[in-house]
Amino acid sequence: MSFSSNNGGVGSPLSEINVTPLVDVMLVLLIIFMIAAPMLTTGVDVELPKADAPRMEIDEEVPVITVQRDQRIFLFDEEVSLDVLKERLASDERVRSVNEVFVQADEQVPYGVVVQVLALVRQAGIGKMGLVTDPVTRRPR
């Protein structure tokens, strides 16, 4: 046990704890989380259609093509036209390496637009594609 010599007395316990290192660590962690938090919520906002299908996990490495309500198309959170999408699907190494894509489209997007995107994926020779939906919430009976 540690004793200090306050007022020259021997045997009195040390009652002060140095919290400076703890405060330093906490401030560093706070700064790291403040910087990292906005990066975790990146993505394109869409209202996905509801479907009664089993939930599947989306791998972070698999490219996601997003079609917004206003029919804007995004690949890797970057807006692209249909022509550019076709080029990128055929040439982008991130897409070619996994040979799989997920397509998520807003529920208000016309079916024809989604079919065009799916056709481009197929023309690019991508072996696997998945459609992303939100699970249906069931009401208790």
Cα distance between residue 124 and residue 49, in whole Å:
26
pLDDT score at 39: 67
Of 109, 100, 34, nearest in space to 69 by CA: 109
Query: What is the model's pLDDT at position 80?
Result: 92
Q: What pLDDT sits at residue 73?
A: 92
What's the confidence (pLDDT) of residue 72? 92
Q: How much is the pTM?
A: 0.59
Q: Is 58 left (phi over 0), alpha (psi -120 to 50) or beta?
A: beta
Paired tokens of 5? 């010599």
pLDDT score for 30: 93
pLDDT on residue 45: 67
- Between CA 88 and CA 94 the distance in angstroms is 10
CB-count burial class (<10 Å; 0-12, 13-18, 19+) for 106: buried
Residue ranges for the chain with pLDDT beneath 50: 140-141
Instruction: Return the CATH number of 50-135, one of 3.30.420, 3.40.50, 2.150.10, 2.60.120.
Output: 3.30.420
Domain boundaries along the sequence of the chain: 3-40, 50-135
pLDDT at 74 (0 to 100): 92
Q: Which token pair is 21? A: 């290192």
